[in-house]
Amino acid sequence: MLKRFSFIFSILLVLLLSATLRGNETAKLYFPSTLGSYWVYEDQNGNELTRQVVDGEEISGVTYKGFSYDPELEDWIDFDRHFAPYLFYVGDEWVSCLVSEEVEEAVKARLGKEMDTLLQLTQNVFANSAPPELNITISLIHDVEAKSEENLFLLPLDVSPNEEWDSLNVNATVSFTMDIQGLPAVQGVPDIPTITFDIDIQETGIILGTETVDVTAGTFEDCLKIQFQTETELTASEPNPDQEQPGESVTTLWLAPNVGIVKFYQETENIILNTMSESDFSEASLAQPEIDALLAPNVISYELQSYEIVPEEVEDESEKE
């Protein structure tokens, strides 16, 4: 009886070890991360970005590796969690990125920019409708809060095409009040209420299969194609039955064997501005081309120009020194 249990235990152990090996091999294949490895990309505007694997740090008992970037990020609104995280971890089941603080800053910057645009539109409406002798001025007092899950689950190491996974969840709250100066005092007019938007962003990832990708760095076969898509729910404290759906984002990465990311493409829509109707923009005296430009998705793309992957044995030797 004991021999039988010993045999079964041995079989289970072999299966577990082989599953872990498959995961580790997948990480090495599609997400090489030896120290000193670097990749040079070109974005949609012809600008170069160099990403290099550097020493990371230990957080809560987990040792993360890191990426450095040249040039460095200057504006949080340009941060992308899929392509340019700072800390990442290759585990037995996932390649994950520690992104909570960066995502929160990026979401606040993005929504803050939308609120600035909303203020400009509101000022246009009043400028077109209010008598000029009143000299009305408008300011928008707004506050943006964001809370993100710690980890973005970038790549499952047990690769299963067409199987979705929850990659990241972000919650945000936007509160704003309009301060209007110059209106004549009218008795009985209620104060302008504070409006709050509660925003829930759920992102899922899916492996769409493999493709051949041609970029400046070469032709790469059997590239793993991964797509991330958000589903956003917006709840307003002042509901509007004519409210449109909030904007979404779609992000696609192509990972080549033994190279990593060779191509990146992302379309991101405005969240709050996309809930506005065409008539809202018309009241602000925007021409149709201006409306189209305002509502057009923001497109970011990167293609690999050159790269160098440091062999594992070189990394091992450098760690011993």
**Domain-embedded: residue 319:** no
- Between 67-81, 250-264, 267-281, the lowest mean confidence (pLDDT) is in 267-281
pLDDT of residue 316: 56
- Please write the tens of the pLDDT for every residue from 164-221: 999 999 999 999 887 777 666 654 445 677 889 999 999 999 999 999 999 999 999 9
Q: Which residue range(s) make up the domain with 209?
A: 95-308
Confidence tier at 38 by pLDDT (50, 70, 90): very high
pLDDT at 58: 94
CA dist., res. 268 & res. 251, Å (int)? 8
Residue 297 has pLDDT above 80, yes or no: yes
pLDDT at 4: 45
Query: Structure pTM?
Result: 0.85
pLDDT digit string, tens, across residues 122-153: 777 766 666 666 666 777 788 999 999 999 99
Q: Which candidate, 191, 195, 190, 183, places its Cα nearest to that of 137?
A: 183
Q: Is residue 275 part of a domain?
A: yes
pLDDT band at 13 (very low <50, low <70, confident <90, very high): very low
3-class DSSP string for 37-80: CEEEEEECCCCEEEEEEEEEEEECCEEEEEEEEECCCCCHHHCC
Residue 278, in any domain of the structure: yes
24 or 9, which is more confident: 24
Q: Is 51 contained in some domain?
A: no
Cα-Cα-Cα-Cα dihedral sign, residues 60, 61, 62, 67: positive
Q: For residue 92, how many other CB atoms are within 10 A of its CB?
A: 14
Amino acid at 184: P
- Work out whether the CA dihedral 12, 14, 16, 19 comes out positive or negative: negative
Count of structural domains within the chain: 1
Inside any domain, residue 42: no
Is 142 domain-assigned? Answer: yes
Window from 12-21, 221-230, 296-305 with minimum mean pLDDT: 12-21
d(CA 142, CA 154): 33
Looking at the domain assignment, is residue 200 inside a domain?
A: yes
Q: How would residue 17 be classed by pLDDT, with cut points 50, 70 and 90? A: very low
Residues 99 and 150: their CA atoms lie apart, in Å, by: 6
CA nearest neighbour of 51 among 60, 61, 43: 43
Helix (H) or strand (E) holding 170: strand 164-181
Residue 81 lies in a domain: no
